[in-house]
């Protein structure tokens, strides 16, 4: 019975993970949680509803920053709730579609990227509202750098045909956890968000540069492969003409 249960879990995991590769450090734990949840999402809760739920998390994060700016740092903790809700909706919308055998690959791809980008903008906007004018640039930098990461993921998909939302051992889940810890730190130690966010931006910049280098290498390899294919095709054509 135990072996059969494991087989069932593995089959479900294979179904819901078929369109992407994961490399994040919490991969195993996250996939276990998603495998558990997709089986228990009520039938009326569609992928679009889950996307809307995830987006509502971004609104809660923005609200937490705004309330904290006017009524005290404690409201930043709303952001943690927002990130939990964001993870729930964002992680499950596509997985539920594949589990129910109702995937809309390109529709989901376009919607997911758009909602994610708007969510990042809202988070950056919230940060800019919360901090003093001197440090608002950090919020702008975060939005730009995260946007760069999103763009790299799309280009990687176009060039290699492999879709990955992770950058090495860090994925969206790890980023949400790190930012939640930064929010907690700010509540306990005022202005720590400025220094920790600056460090996060530097790490994100380094990660983006490394990912871009890998992307360019992959792009160059594909160019070489396509060039070789064209040459082979030309040789075959010339051979056929001689015959």
pLDDT, tens digit (0-9, with 9 covering 90-100), for 49-88: 999 999 999 999 999 999 999 999 999 999 999 999 999 9
- Residue 85: per-residue pLDDT: 97
Give the sign of the dihedral formed by CA 16, CA 152, CA 175, CA 77.
Answer: negative
Phi, psi of 167 (to 5 degrees): -120, 90
- Residue 219: per-residue pLDDT: 94
Asked if 216 contacts 159 with a C-beta cutoff of 8 angstroms, the reply is: no
Phi, psi of 191 (to 5 degrees): 75, 0
Q: What is the dihedral of CA 147, 152, 153, 157, to 10 degrees?
A: 140
- Residue 1: per-residue pLDDT: 40
pTM: 0.86
Please identify every stretch of the chain with a pLDDT value under 70, giving residue numbers as ranges.
Answer: 1-7, 19, 243
- Residue 243: per-residue pLDDT: 65
SS3 category, 17: coil
CA neighbor of 197 nearest in space, from 145, 150, 152: 145
Task: Give the domains, in start order, of the chain with CATH numbers.
Answer: 2-242 (1.20.120.1760)
């Amino acid at each position: 019975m135990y072996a059969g249960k494991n087989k069932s879990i593995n089959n479900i995991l294979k179904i819901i993970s078929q369109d992407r590769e994961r490399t994040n450090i919490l991969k195993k734990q996250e996939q276990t949680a998603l495998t558990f949840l997709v089986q228990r999402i009520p039938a009326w809760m569609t992928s679009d509803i889950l996307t809307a739920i995830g987006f509502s998390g971004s609104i809660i994060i923005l609200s937490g920053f705004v309330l904290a700016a006017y009524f005290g740092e404690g409201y930043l903790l709303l952001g943690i709730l927002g990130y939990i809700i964001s993870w729930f909706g964002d992680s499950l919308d596509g997985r539920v579609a594949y589990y129910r055998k109702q995937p809309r690959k390109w529709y989901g791809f376009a919607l997911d990227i758009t909602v994610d980008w708007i969510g990042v903008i809202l988070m950056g906007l919230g940060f800019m509202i919360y901090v003093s004018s001197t440090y608002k640039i950090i919020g702008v930098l975060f939005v730009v750098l995260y946007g760069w990461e999103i763009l790299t993921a799309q280009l990687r998909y176009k060039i290699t045909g492999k879709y990955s939302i992770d950058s090495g051992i860090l994925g969206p889940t790890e980023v949400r956890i790190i930012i939640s810890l930064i929010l907690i730190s700010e509540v306990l130690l005022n202005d720590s968000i400025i220094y920790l966010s600056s460090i996060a931006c530097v790490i994100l910049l380094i990660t983006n540069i490394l990912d871009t280098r890998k992307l360019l290498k992959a792009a160059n390899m594909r160019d070489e492969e396509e060039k070789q294919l064209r040459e082979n095709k030309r040789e075959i054509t010339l051979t056929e003409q001689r015959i």
